[in-house]
Amino acid sequence: SQTIHQWPATLVQPVGSPLSLECTVEGTSNPNLYWYRQAAGRGLQLLFYSVGIGQISSEVPQNLSASRPQDRQFILSSKKLLLSDSGFYLCAWTYGTGTGDEQYFGPGTRLTVT
């Protein structure tokens, strides 16, 4: 069966510090991978998605970047965090067959920038 992991589960970082959030998927190969952010009181917003190693699409201009160094690993990074980067970050995956698949979400990382 497939499993998606995210870590850390919670993180408190000062403004201006770097960020690295990791997401890994087990039990499948060549998934489509997604990073979402849920700011307090707001809906989920797609930040990045990837259809393969090294292939990253950014949905909104921001202070964050994403990388996919391995097939089942997706990393969200920032060189200098802003207060507005606080939120709940979710990683998700689909089979990526292009025929309309379920999205499976990770447990999320709650980031507080102080």
Partner 1 sequence: KNEVEQSPQNLTAQEGEFITINCSYSVGISALHWLQQHPGGGIVSLFMLSSGKKKHGRLIATINIQEKHSSLHITASHPRDSAVYICAVRSHFGNEKLTFGTGTRLTIIP
Query: Is position 105 an interface residue for partner 1 (rule: CB under 8 A)?
Result: yes
**What secondary structure letter does DSSP report for 16?**
T
Contacts 24+ apart (CB under 8 A), 47-54: 47/76, 48/76, 50/74, 51/96
> Pattern 53-92, binding to partner 1, x per CB under 8 A?
------x----------------------------x-x--
Rounded to a whole number of angstroms, the minimum distance from the CB of residue 3 to partner 1 is 13
**Which value, in Å, is the radius of gyration of the alpha carbons in the chain?**
13
Rounded to a whole number of angstroms, the minimum distance from the CB of residue 16 to partner 1 is 26
78 vs 94, which CB is nearer to partner 1?
94
